[in-house]
Structure 1
Amino acid sequence: MPVTPASTVPNVTLNNGVQVPQLGFGVFQVPPEETQRIVEDALEAGYRHIDTAAAYRNEAAVGAAIAASGIPRADIFLTTKLRNGEQGTAREAFRNSRRELGVDYVDLYLIHWPVPSRNLFNEAWKVMESLHADGEIRAIGVSNFLADHLDTLLQSAEVVPAVNQFELHPTFQQPELAAKSRTLGIAVEAYSPLGQGADLNAGAVTSTADKHNISPARVILAWHLAQGTIVIPKSANSGRMRDNLAAVDVVLSPSEINAIAALEAGARIGSDPAVAAHSQM
Protein backbone atom coordinates (compact mmCIF):
# COMPACT_ATOMS: atom_id res chain seq x y z
CA MET A 1 0.00 0.00 0.00
CA PRO A 2 1.19 3.60 -0.47
CA VAL A 3 2.78 4.96 2.66
CA THR A 4 2.88 8.58 3.72
CA PRO A 5 6.34 9.65 4.94
CA ALA A 6 6.54 9.79 8.72
CA SER A 7 5.47 13.14 10.08
CA THR A 8 7.68 15.37 12.15
CA VAL A 9 6.57 13.84 15.43
CA PRO A 10 9.20 14.62 18.09
CA ASN A 11 10.87 11.77 19.93
CA VAL A 12 11.10 11.33 23.68
CA THR A 13 14.35 9.74 24.83
CA LEU A 14 13.71 7.14 27.51
CA ASN A 15 15.99 6.55 30.48
CA ASN A 16 17.90 3.82 28.61
CA GLY A 17 18.47 5.94 25.50
CA VAL A 18 15.69 4.38 23.42
CA GLN A 19 13.67 6.95 21.49
CA VAL A 20 9.88 6.81 21.17
CA PRO A 21 7.68 8.99 18.95
CA GLN A 22 5.85 11.25 21.40
CA LEU A 23 2.52 11.00 19.57
CA GLY A 24 1.41 7.44 18.88
CA PHE A 25 -1.70 5.49 18.01
CA GLY A 26 -3.65 3.29 20.43
CA VAL A 27 -5.92 0.35 19.65
CA PHE A 28 -7.74 -0.13 22.96
CA GLN A 29 -11.30 -1.40 22.30
CA VAL A 30 -10.63 -1.69 18.56
CA PRO A 31 -12.31 -4.95 17.45
CA PRO A 32 -9.80 -7.52 16.14
CA GLU A 33 -11.63 -7.76 12.81
CA GLU A 34 -11.19 -4.02 12.23
CA THR A 35 -7.72 -3.59 13.67
CA GLN A 36 -5.60 -4.38 10.62
CA ARG A 37 -7.43 -1.88 8.43
CA ILE A 38 -7.35 0.82 11.09
CA VAL A 39 -3.66 0.36 11.91
CA GLU A 40 -2.80 0.34 8.20
CA ASP A 41 -4.66 3.65 7.90
CA ALA A 42 -2.74 5.04 10.88
CA LEU A 43 0.60 4.00 9.43
CA GLU A 44 -0.36 5.46 6.05
CA ALA A 45 -1.27 8.71 7.82
CA GLY A 46 2.23 8.89 9.28
CA TYR A 47 2.05 7.27 12.73
CA ARG A 48 5.14 5.29 13.66
CA HIS A 49 4.23 4.37 17.25
CA ILE A 50 1.54 1.73 17.79
CA ASP A 51 0.27 0.71 21.25
CA THR A 52 -1.58 -2.55 21.84
CA ALA A 53 -1.90 -5.16 24.62
CA ALA A 54 -2.52 -8.87 25.01
CA ALA A 55 -5.79 -8.02 26.74
CA TYR A 56 -7.04 -6.16 23.66
CA ARG A 57 -6.97 -9.43 21.67
CA ASN A 58 -5.87 -7.62 18.53
CA GLU A 59 -2.10 -8.16 18.56
CA ALA A 60 -2.21 -10.45 15.51
CA ALA A 61 -4.05 -7.84 13.48
CA VAL A 62 -1.59 -5.14 14.57
CA GLY A 63 1.25 -7.36 13.43
CA ALA A 64 -0.47 -8.04 10.12
CA ALA A 65 -0.87 -4.30 9.53
CA ILE A 66 2.81 -3.67 10.22
CA ALA A 67 3.81 -6.50 7.87
CA ALA A 68 1.49 -5.22 5.13
CA SER A 69 2.60 -1.61 5.45
CA GLY A 70 5.96 -1.99 3.74
CA ILE A 71 7.52 0.15 6.45
CA PRO A 72 10.78 -1.22 7.86
CA ARG A 73 10.23 -2.78 11.28
CA ALA A 74 12.98 -0.59 12.74
CA ASP A 75 10.95 2.50 11.81
CA ILE A 76 7.93 1.48 13.90
CA PHE A 77 7.86 1.71 17.70
CA LEU A 78 5.67 -1.13 18.97
CA THR A 79 4.28 -1.42 22.49
CA THR A 80 2.34 -4.29 24.01
CA LYS A 81 1.44 -5.24 27.58
CA LEU A 82 1.40 -8.17 29.98
CA ARG A 83 -2.10 -9.40 30.74
CA ASN A 84 -3.00 -9.27 34.44
CA GLY A 85 -3.77 -12.97 34.75
CA GLU A 86 -0.37 -13.87 33.32
CA GLN A 87 1.92 -12.02 35.72
CA GLY A 88 3.03 -15.35 37.14
CA THR A 89 3.94 -16.67 33.67
CA ALA A 90 5.40 -13.49 32.18
CA ARG A 91 8.02 -15.12 29.95
CA GLU A 92 5.50 -17.35 28.21
CA ALA A 93 3.02 -14.49 27.98
CA PHE A 94 5.56 -12.20 26.35
CA ARG A 95 6.59 -14.79 23.81
CA ASN A 96 2.94 -15.49 22.99
CA SER A 97 2.49 -11.77 22.34
CA ARG A 98 5.59 -11.68 20.19
CA ARG A 99 4.31 -14.62 18.14
CA GLU A 100 0.91 -12.98 17.75
CA LEU A 101 2.59 -9.78 16.57
CA GLY A 102 4.90 -11.69 14.26
CA VAL A 103 7.99 -9.73 15.31
CA ASP A 104 11.46 -10.60 16.55
CA TYR A 105 11.39 -8.00 19.31
CA VAL A 106 9.06 -5.51 21.00
CA ASP A 107 10.12 -1.92 21.55
CA LEU A 108 8.27 -1.45 24.84
CA TYR A 109 6.65 -4.05 27.10
CA LEU A 110 4.52 -2.92 30.02
CA ILE A 111 2.98 -4.56 33.08
CA HIS A 112 -0.60 -3.62 32.26
CA TRP A 113 -1.90 -3.19 35.83
CA PRO A 114 -0.20 -3.70 39.20
CA VAL A 115 -3.01 -5.88 40.64
CA PRO A 116 -1.63 -5.37 44.18
CA SER A 117 -3.97 -7.99 45.63
CA ARG A 118 -2.02 -10.71 43.78
CA ASN A 119 1.43 -9.35 44.69
CA LEU A 120 3.04 -10.70 41.52
CA PHE A 121 4.28 -7.61 39.71
CA ASN A 122 7.78 -7.80 41.22
CA GLU A 123 8.08 -11.38 40.00
CA ALA A 124 6.90 -10.36 36.53
CA TRP A 125 9.35 -7.47 36.49
CA LYS A 126 12.30 -9.78 37.12
CA VAL A 127 11.30 -11.81 34.07
CA MET A 128 10.95 -8.65 32.01
CA GLU A 129 14.42 -7.52 33.11
CA SER A 130 15.77 -10.83 31.79
CA LEU A 131 13.96 -10.46 28.46
CA HIS A 132 15.26 -6.92 28.19
CA ALA A 133 18.83 -8.06 28.89
CA ASP A 134 18.48 -10.71 26.18
CA GLY A 135 17.40 -8.08 23.61
CA GLU A 136 13.86 -9.37 23.12
CA ILE A 137 12.49 -6.07 24.49
CA ARG A 138 14.17 -2.70 23.90
CA ALA A 139 12.55 -1.01 26.93
CA ILE A 140 10.39 -2.19 29.82
CA GLY A 141 7.88 -0.21 31.79
CA VAL A 142 4.63 -0.19 33.72
CA SER A 143 1.06 0.94 33.27
CA ASN A 144 -1.40 2.16 35.89
CA PHE A 145 1.24 2.10 38.63
CA LEU A 146 0.49 4.49 41.49
CA ALA A 147 3.20 5.97 43.70
CA ASP A 148 3.18 3.12 46.22
CA HIS A 149 3.38 0.54 43.44
CA LEU A 150 6.43 2.30 42.03
CA ASP A 151 8.02 2.37 45.48
CA THR A 152 7.43 -1.36 45.96
CA LEU A 153 8.79 -2.19 42.52
CA LEU A 154 11.91 -0.09 42.95
CA GLN A 155 12.82 -1.80 46.22
CA SER A 156 13.96 -4.84 44.23
CA ALA A 157 14.18 -3.69 40.60
CA GLU A 158 17.54 -3.57 38.87
CA VAL A 159 16.07 -1.66 35.92
CA VAL A 160 14.04 1.51 36.52
CA PRO A 161 10.88 1.48 34.38
CA ALA A 162 11.29 3.48 31.20
CA VAL A 163 7.60 4.47 31.06
CA ASN A 164 4.56 4.72 33.32
CA GLN A 165 1.41 4.74 31.18
CA PHE A 166 -1.71 5.85 33.02
CA GLU A 167 -4.99 7.69 32.60
CA LEU A 168 -4.25 11.37 32.09
CA HIS A 169 -6.41 14.06 30.51
CA PRO A 170 -7.42 17.65 31.35
CA THR A 171 -10.06 16.69 33.91
CA PHE A 172 -7.95 13.91 35.46
CA GLN A 173 -4.28 14.84 35.49
CA GLN A 174 -2.79 12.89 38.43
CA PRO A 175 -0.13 15.62 38.83
CA GLU A 176 1.58 14.08 41.85
CA LEU A 177 1.95 10.73 40.09
CA ALA A 178 3.25 12.40 36.94
CA ALA A 179 5.75 14.45 38.93
CA LYS A 180 6.96 11.41 40.90
CA SER A 181 7.38 9.36 37.74
CA ARG A 182 9.40 12.09 36.06
CA THR A 183 11.53 12.64 39.16
CA LEU A 184 12.44 8.94 39.03
CA GLY A 185 13.40 9.27 35.37
CA ILE A 186 10.26 7.47 34.19
CA ALA A 187 8.56 8.95 31.12
CA VAL A 188 4.84 9.71 31.48
CA GLU A 189 2.51 8.29 28.84
CA ALA A 190 -1.16 9.26 28.76
CA TYR A 191 -3.97 6.94 27.81
CA SER A 192 -7.51 8.25 27.33
CA PRO A 193 -5.78 11.58 26.56
CA LEU A 194 -9.03 13.22 25.47
CA GLY A 195 -10.99 11.85 28.41
CA GLN A 196 -12.63 9.47 25.91
CA GLY A 197 -14.11 12.61 24.33
CA ALA A 198 -15.54 14.00 27.57
CA ASP A 199 -13.01 16.84 27.76
CA LEU A 200 -13.48 18.12 24.20
CA ASN A 201 -16.33 20.46 25.12
CA ALA A 202 -14.63 22.20 28.04
CA GLY A 203 -14.69 25.96 27.65
CA ALA A 204 -10.94 26.41 27.91
CA VAL A 205 -10.51 23.82 25.17
CA THR A 206 -13.14 25.12 22.74
CA SER A 207 -12.08 28.74 23.14
CA THR A 208 -8.47 27.83 22.40
CA ALA A 209 -9.58 25.74 19.43
CA ASP A 210 -11.56 28.69 18.05
CA LYS A 211 -8.60 31.03 18.54
CA HIS A 212 -6.23 28.74 16.62
CA ASN A 213 -8.90 27.58 14.15
CA ILE A 214 -8.19 23.94 14.96
CA SER A 215 -10.12 21.05 16.49
CA PRO A 216 -10.55 20.68 20.26
CA ALA A 217 -8.80 17.30 20.04
CA ARG A 218 -5.72 18.91 18.53
CA VAL A 219 -5.70 21.47 21.35
CA ILE A 220 -5.73 18.81 24.07
CA LEU A 221 -3.06 16.73 22.36
CA ALA A 222 -0.87 19.82 21.94
CA TRP A 223 -1.34 20.48 25.67
CA HIS A 224 -0.05 16.99 26.47
CA LEU A 225 2.88 17.35 24.09
CA ALA A 226 3.87 20.70 25.57
CA GLN A 227 4.45 18.99 28.91
CA GLY A 228 6.64 16.27 27.47
CA THR A 229 3.96 13.61 27.86
CA ILE A 230 3.83 10.70 25.43
CA VAL A 231 0.28 10.37 24.15
CA ILE A 232 -1.62 7.63 22.27
CA PRO A 233 -5.00 8.80 20.94
CA LYS A 234 -7.09 6.44 18.85
CA SER A 235 -9.59 6.91 16.06
CA ALA A 236 -11.12 4.67 13.42
CA ASN A 237 -11.54 7.69 11.12
CA SER A 238 -8.57 8.45 8.87
CA GLY A 239 -9.40 12.16 8.81
CA ARG A 240 -9.32 12.39 12.59
CA MET A 241 -6.12 10.34 12.65
CA ARG A 242 -4.47 13.00 10.51
CA ASP A 243 -6.00 15.81 12.52
CA ASN A 244 -4.67 14.32 15.74
CA LEU A 245 -1.23 13.89 14.20
CA ALA A 246 -1.20 17.57 13.26
CA ALA A 247 -1.15 18.45 16.99
CA VAL A 248 2.65 18.31 16.76
CA ASP A 249 2.55 21.60 14.85
CA VAL A 250 0.41 23.46 17.42
CA VAL A 251 2.13 25.85 19.83
CA LEU A 252 0.04 26.87 22.82
CA SER A 253 0.83 29.90 24.94
CA PRO A 254 1.62 29.49 28.66
CA SER A 255 -1.76 31.03 29.50
CA GLU A 256 -3.56 28.55 27.25
CA ILE A 257 -1.66 25.65 28.81
CA ASN A 258 -2.54 26.90 32.28
CA ALA A 259 -6.21 27.35 31.38
CA ILE A 260 -6.46 23.73 30.30
CA ALA A 261 -4.55 22.56 33.38
CA ALA A 262 -7.14 24.40 35.49
CA LEU A 263 -9.78 21.92 34.27
CA GLU A 264 -8.52 19.30 36.75
CA ALA A 265 -11.59 17.79 38.42
CA GLY A 266 -10.52 14.34 39.62
CA ALA A 267 -12.73 12.85 36.90
CA ARG A 268 -11.32 9.33 36.61
CA ILE A 269 -12.89 7.31 33.79
CA GLY A 270 -11.14 3.95 34.13
CA SER A 271 -10.60 1.58 37.02
CA ASP A 272 -8.70 2.59 40.14
CA PRO A 273 -5.29 0.83 40.09
CA ALA A 274 -5.29 0.68 43.88
CA VAL A 275 -7.99 -2.00 43.77
CA ALA A 276 -8.39 -3.11 40.14
CA ALA A 277 -7.95 -6.88 39.89
CA HIS A 278 -9.66 -7.89 36.62
CA SER A 279 -7.88 -10.90 35.13
CA GLN A 280 -8.26 -9.79 31.47
CA MET A 281 -8.35 -13.49 30.55
Structure 2
Amino acid sequence: MRFLNNSVAVLFFVQLSICLIYSDLECPRLNFSSSHLPDKHSHDGRNKIPSGLISTVIKGHQSPHRPFFVRIFSMRNSFNSLEECGGTAIETRWILTAAICVNSSPVDRVFVLSGDFSNREHQAEMHSVEQVICHLSYRQGFPDNNLALLKLETPLPYAYTIPLCYGRQPDCALLGAAGMGQISVVYPNMEPDSLREIKLTETRGHIFNRCPQNTICTKRTTEDANLCKGDEGAPLYSFHEEVSNHPKCLYGVAISFGRTKYSRLMCNGGSFFARVPFYYGWIRQTMQDNA
Protein backbone atom coordinates (compact mmCIF):
# COMPACT_ATOMS: atom_id res chain seq x y z
CA MET A 1 0.00 0.00 0.00
CA ARG A 2 1.15 3.53 -0.67
CA PHE A 3 -0.04 6.72 1.03
CA LEU A 4 -0.94 9.76 -1.06
CA ASN A 5 0.41 13.20 -0.21
CA ASN A 6 -1.69 15.29 2.17
CA SER A 7 -3.13 17.84 -0.28
CA VAL A 8 -4.27 15.25 -2.81
CA ALA A 9 -5.62 13.03 -0.03
CA VAL A 10 -7.70 15.87 1.43
CA LEU A 11 -9.13 16.82 -1.97
CA PHE A 12 -9.97 13.21 -2.75
CA PHE A 13 -11.59 12.71 0.66
CA VAL A 14 -13.70 15.85 0.34
CA GLN A 15 -15.02 14.89 -3.09
CA LEU A 16 -15.85 11.36 -2.01
CA SER A 17 -17.51 12.63 1.15
CA ILE A 18 -19.78 14.89 -0.88
CA CYS A 19 -20.83 11.88 -2.95
CA LEU A 20 -21.62 9.98 0.22
CA ILE A 21 -23.66 12.79 1.79
CA TYR A 22 -25.69 13.52 -1.32
CA SER A 23 -26.60 10.08 -2.59
CA ASP A 24 -28.42 11.50 -5.62
CA LEU A 25 -25.30 13.32 -6.81
CA GLU A 26 -23.64 11.64 -9.78
CA CYS A 27 -19.91 11.30 -9.24
CA PRO A 28 -18.62 9.11 -12.04
CA ARG A 29 -15.20 10.71 -12.38
CA LEU A 30 -12.61 12.47 -10.29
CA ASN A 31 -11.73 16.07 -11.10
CA PHE A 32 -8.61 17.79 -9.88
CA SER A 33 -7.08 21.12 -10.74
CA SER A 34 -3.48 20.90 -11.93
CA SER A 35 -2.55 23.45 -9.29
CA HIS A 36 -2.99 20.71 -6.69
CA LEU A 37 -0.67 18.23 -8.37
CA PRO A 38 2.97 17.67 -7.47
CA ASP A 39 5.16 20.20 -9.22
CA LYS A 40 6.26 17.92 -12.02
CA HIS A 41 4.62 18.97 -15.26
CA SER A 42 1.48 20.77 -16.34
CA HIS A 43 -1.72 18.73 -16.74
CA ASP A 44 -5.27 19.63 -17.60
CA GLY A 45 -6.65 17.40 -14.86
CA ARG A 46 -10.30 17.64 -15.80
CA ASN A 47 -12.12 14.29 -15.98
CA LYS A 48 -8.78 12.51 -15.69
CA ILE A 49 -6.80 10.95 -12.90
CA PRO A 50 -3.89 13.37 -12.47
CA SER A 51 -0.37 12.10 -12.92
CA GLY A 52 0.29 12.94 -9.27
CA LEU A 53 -1.77 9.85 -8.36
CA ILE A 54 -0.04 7.56 -10.82
CA SER A 55 3.18 5.65 -10.31
CA THR A 56 4.55 2.31 -11.39
CA VAL A 57 6.26 -1.01 -10.75
CA ILE A 58 10.03 -0.71 -10.66
CA LYS A 59 11.86 -1.24 -13.98
CA GLY A 60 8.60 -1.91 -15.84
CA HIS A 61 7.67 -0.82 -19.35
CA GLN A 62 4.50 0.90 -20.48
CA SER A 63 1.74 -1.68 -20.39
CA PRO A 64 -0.43 -2.62 -23.36
CA HIS A 65 -4.20 -2.44 -22.95
CA ARG A 66 -5.11 -4.14 -19.65
CA PRO A 67 -8.72 -3.08 -18.91
CA PHE A 68 -9.10 -5.62 -16.07
CA PHE A 69 -6.64 -3.65 -13.92
CA VAL A 70 -8.34 -1.31 -11.43
CA ARG A 71 -7.15 1.17 -8.81
CA ILE A 72 -8.42 0.76 -5.25
CA PHE A 73 -8.50 3.63 -2.77
CA SER A 74 -9.37 3.11 0.89
CA MET A 75 -9.64 5.58 3.74
CA ARG A 76 -9.15 4.93 7.40
CA ASN A 77 -9.46 7.34 10.32
CA SER A 78 -7.96 10.61 9.11
CA PHE A 79 -7.28 12.78 6.08
CA ASN A 80 -3.73 11.42 5.95
CA SER A 81 -4.69 7.77 5.60
CA LEU A 82 -5.85 7.48 2.00
CA GLU A 83 -4.18 4.35 0.66
CA GLU A 84 -3.93 2.92 -2.84
CA CYS A 85 -3.61 -0.61 -4.19
CA GLY A 86 -4.22 -2.55 -7.36
CA GLY A 87 -6.99 -5.00 -8.16
CA THR A 88 -8.50 -7.13 -10.93
CA ALA A 89 -12.01 -7.25 -12.38
CA ILE A 90 -12.88 -10.96 -12.51
CA GLU A 91 -16.62 -10.42 -13.10
CA THR A 92 -18.60 -7.31 -13.93
CA ARG A 93 -19.35 -6.63 -10.25
CA TRP A 94 -16.46 -8.41 -8.56
CA ILE A 95 -12.91 -7.19 -7.91
CA LEU A 96 -10.18 -9.44 -6.51
CA THR A 97 -7.43 -7.78 -4.49
CA ALA A 98 -5.24 -8.26 -1.42
CA ALA A 99 -6.92 -8.25 1.99
CA ILE A 100 -4.24 -5.95 3.40
CA CYS A 101 -5.61 -3.18 1.16
CA VAL A 102 -9.12 -3.11 2.62
CA ASN A 103 -9.36 -5.12 5.84
CA SER A 104 -9.17 -2.03 8.09
CA SER A 105 -11.47 0.24 6.07
CA PRO A 106 -15.27 0.45 6.33
CA VAL A 107 -17.07 -0.44 3.12
CA ASP A 108 -18.27 3.14 2.54
CA ARG A 109 -14.64 4.31 2.51
CA VAL A 110 -13.44 1.94 -0.21
CA PHE A 111 -13.62 3.04 -3.86
CA VAL A 112 -12.60 1.49 -7.16
CA LEU A 113 -11.38 3.33 -10.26
CA SER A 114 -11.69 1.64 -13.64
CA GLY A 115 -10.46 2.68 -17.05
CA ASP A 116 -7.68 2.28 -19.58
CA PHE A 117 -4.72 3.15 -17.37
CA SER A 118 -2.29 2.23 -20.14
CA ASN A 119 -3.52 5.35 -21.95
CA ARG A 120 -2.05 8.57 -20.56
CA GLU A 121 -5.18 10.47 -21.65
CA HIS A 122 -7.63 8.02 -20.10
CA GLN A 123 -10.76 8.94 -18.18
CA ALA A 124 -11.30 6.88 -15.05
CA GLU A 125 -14.68 6.04 -13.59
CA MET A 126 -15.23 5.85 -9.85
CA HIS A 127 -17.29 3.01 -8.38
CA SER A 128 -18.67 2.65 -4.87
CA VAL A 129 -18.30 -0.72 -3.16
CA GLU A 130 -21.32 -2.59 -1.84
CA GLN A 131 -19.48 -5.33 0.02
CA VAL A 132 -15.93 -6.13 1.18
CA ILE A 133 -15.22 -9.79 1.90
CA CYS A 134 -11.78 -10.70 3.24
CA HIS A 135 -10.67 -14.31 3.50
CA LEU A 136 -11.75 -15.53 6.95
CA SER A 137 -8.30 -16.99 7.67
CA TYR A 138 -6.39 -13.81 6.84
CA ARG A 139 -4.41 -12.30 9.70
CA GLN A 140 -2.88 -8.84 9.54
CA GLY A 141 0.87 -9.03 9.03
CA PHE A 142 0.89 -12.59 7.68
CA PRO A 143 1.08 -13.46 3.96
CA ASP A 144 -1.25 -16.47 4.00
CA ASN A 145 -4.83 -16.03 2.72
CA ASN A 146 -4.16 -12.40 1.83
CA LEU A 147 -7.17 -12.08 -0.48
CA ALA A 148 -10.34 -9.99 -0.56
CA LEU A 149 -13.33 -9.69 -2.88
CA LEU A 150 -15.04 -6.35 -3.51
CA LYS A 151 -18.60 -6.29 -4.82
CA LEU A 152 -19.33 -3.12 -6.79
CA GLU A 153 -22.61 -1.27 -6.60
CA THR A 154 -22.62 -0.78 -10.37
CA PRO A 155 -21.25 -3.24 -12.94
CA LEU A 156 -18.27 -2.79 -15.20
CA PRO A 157 -18.41 -3.66 -18.90
CA TYR A 158 -17.87 -7.37 -19.48
CA ALA A 159 -14.91 -6.52 -21.72
CA TYR A 160 -13.08 -5.23 -18.63
CA THR A 161 -12.99 -8.66 -16.96
CA ILE A 162 -10.47 -11.51 -17.08
CA PRO A 163 -11.22 -15.16 -16.18
CA LEU A 164 -9.55 -17.00 -13.31
CA CYS A 165 -6.84 -19.58 -13.93
CA TYR A 166 -7.80 -22.92 -12.37
CA GLY A 167 -4.56 -24.84 -12.84
CA ARG A 168 -0.81 -24.43 -12.52
CA GLN A 169 0.89 -22.85 -15.51
CA PRO A 170 3.64 -24.71 -17.38
CA ASP A 171 7.17 -24.46 -16.03
CA CYS A 172 9.05 -21.45 -17.41
CA ALA A 173 5.84 -19.96 -18.82
CA LEU A 174 6.07 -16.21 -19.27
CA LEU A 175 3.79 -14.27 -16.90
CA GLY A 176 2.84 -10.61 -16.78
CA ALA A 177 2.26 -8.32 -13.79
CA ALA A 178 0.90 -4.79 -14.04
CA GLY A 179 0.82 -2.10 -11.41
CA MET A 180 1.04 1.53 -10.45
CA GLY A 181 3.05 1.32 -7.26
CA GLN A 182 6.29 3.06 -6.35
CA ILE A 183 8.73 3.39 -9.24
CA SER A 184 11.98 3.81 -7.31
CA VAL A 185 13.23 3.13 -3.81
CA VAL A 186 15.85 5.85 -4.24
CA TYR A 187 13.56 8.51 -5.73
CA PRO A 188 10.07 7.70 -4.35
CA ASN A 189 8.50 10.81 -5.93
CA MET A 190 9.24 9.72 -9.52
CA GLU A 191 5.80 8.98 -10.95
CA PRO A 192 4.95 8.24 -14.61
CA ASP A 193 1.41 8.67 -15.86
CA SER A 194 0.42 5.23 -17.18
CA LEU A 195 0.13 1.59 -16.18
CA ARG A 196 3.41 -0.35 -16.21
CA GLU A 197 4.10 -4.03 -16.78
CA ILE A 198 6.88 -6.46 -15.96
CA LYS A 199 7.45 -10.00 -17.24
CA LEU A 200 8.14 -12.81 -14.78
CA THR A 201 8.45 -16.57 -14.58
CA GLU A 202 7.40 -18.82 -11.71
CA THR A 203 10.04 -20.39 -9.48
CA ARG A 204 9.44 -23.13 -6.91
CA GLY A 205 12.44 -22.22 -4.77
CA HIS A 206 15.12 -24.69 -3.73
CA ILE A 207 15.19 -27.66 -1.40
CA PHE A 208 15.85 -25.57 1.72
CA ASN A 209 13.46 -22.75 0.83
CA ARG A 210 10.43 -24.07 -1.02
CA CYS A 211 7.70 -21.72 -2.17
CA PRO A 212 4.45 -22.43 -0.23
CA GLN A 213 1.72 -24.14 -2.24
CA ASN A 214 -0.67 -21.18 -1.83
CA THR A 215 1.94 -18.69 -3.05
CA ILE A 216 3.54 -17.94 -6.42
CA CYS A 217 7.20 -17.03 -6.13
CA THR A 218 8.53 -15.37 -9.25
CA LYS A 219 11.78 -14.76 -11.04
CA ARG A 220 12.18 -11.56 -13.02
CA THR A 221 13.18 -11.57 -16.67
CA THR A 222 14.60 -8.02 -16.48
CA GLU A 223 17.24 -7.12 -13.92
CA ASP A 224 15.76 -5.37 -10.84
CA ALA A 225 12.18 -5.44 -12.22
CA ASN A 226 9.93 -5.78 -9.19
CA LEU A 227 6.68 -4.83 -7.55
CA CYS A 228 6.84 -2.15 -4.89
CA LYS A 229 4.70 -0.14 -2.46
CA GLY A 230 1.25 0.49 -3.91
CA ASP A 231 1.29 -2.70 -6.00
CA GLU A 232 -0.41 -4.89 -3.38
CA GLY A 233 -3.47 -6.52 -4.95
CA ALA A 234 -2.15 -6.10 -8.51
CA PRO A 235 -2.68 -8.91 -11.04
CA LEU A 236 -0.33 -11.64 -12.25
CA TYR A 237 -1.60 -13.21 -15.47
CA SER A 238 -0.67 -15.84 -18.01
CA PHE A 239 -0.72 -15.35 -21.77
CA HIS A 240 -2.45 -17.27 -24.55
CA GLU A 241 0.91 -17.42 -26.28
CA GLU A 242 4.14 -15.74 -25.30
CA VAL A 243 4.36 -14.07 -28.69
CA SER A 244 0.76 -12.82 -28.60
CA ASN A 245 1.09 -10.71 -25.42
CA HIS A 246 -2.64 -11.28 -24.89
CA PRO A 247 -3.60 -12.19 -21.29
CA LYS A 248 -5.42 -15.51 -20.87
CA CYS A 249 -6.35 -15.70 -17.18
CA LEU A 250 -5.60 -14.30 -13.72
CA TYR A 251 -2.96 -16.47 -12.07
CA GLY A 252 -2.04 -14.50 -8.95
CA VAL A 253 -2.69 -11.48 -6.72
CA ALA A 254 0.28 -9.45 -5.49
CA ILE A 255 0.76 -9.79 -1.74
CA SER A 256 4.38 -8.84 -0.98
CA PHE A 257 7.76 -7.81 -2.30
CA GLY A 258 11.16 -8.50 -0.79
CA ARG A 259 14.71 -7.32 -0.71
CA THR A 260 17.94 -9.21 -1.25
CA LYS A 261 19.99 -10.39 1.69
CA TYR A 262 22.81 -7.93 1.10
CA SER A 263 20.77 -4.84 0.18
CA ARG A 264 19.28 -2.11 2.34
CA LEU A 265 16.80 -1.24 -0.39
CA MET A 266 13.27 -2.65 -0.52
CA CYS A 267 11.60 -3.86 -3.71
CA ASN A 268 14.58 -5.65 -5.20
CA GLY A 269 14.21 -9.13 -3.79
CA GLY A 270 11.35 -10.72 -5.67
CA SER A 271 7.60 -10.37 -6.15
CA PHE A 272 5.15 -12.76 -4.45
CA PHE A 273 1.53 -13.52 -5.27
CA ALA A 274 -1.41 -15.40 -3.76
CA ARG A 275 -2.01 -18.38 -6.06
CA VAL A 276 -5.46 -17.98 -7.66
CA PRO A 277 -5.89 -21.70 -8.56
CA PHE A 278 -5.30 -22.60 -4.89
CA TYR A 279 -8.11 -20.24 -3.84
CA TYR A 280 -10.32 -20.90 -6.87
CA GLY A 281 -12.99 -22.68 -4.84
CA TRP A 282 -13.13 -19.96 -2.17
CA ILE A 283 -13.41 -17.21 -4.78
CA ARG A 284 -16.19 -18.92 -6.71
CA GLN A 285 -18.15 -19.96 -3.62
CA THR A 286 -17.89 -16.51 -2.05
CA MET A 287 -19.23 -14.81 -5.17
CA GLN A 288 -22.04 -17.36 -5.43
CA ASP A 289 -23.04 -16.97 -1.78
CA ASN A 290 -23.14 -13.18 -2.12
CA ALA A 291 -24.70 -12.86 -5.56
One fold, TM greater than 0.5? Answer: no
Higher relative strand content: 2
Taking structure 1 as the reference length, what is the TM-score of the superposition?
0.28
TM-score when normalising by structure 2 = 0.28
Q: Give the helix-richer structure, 1 or 2.
A: 1
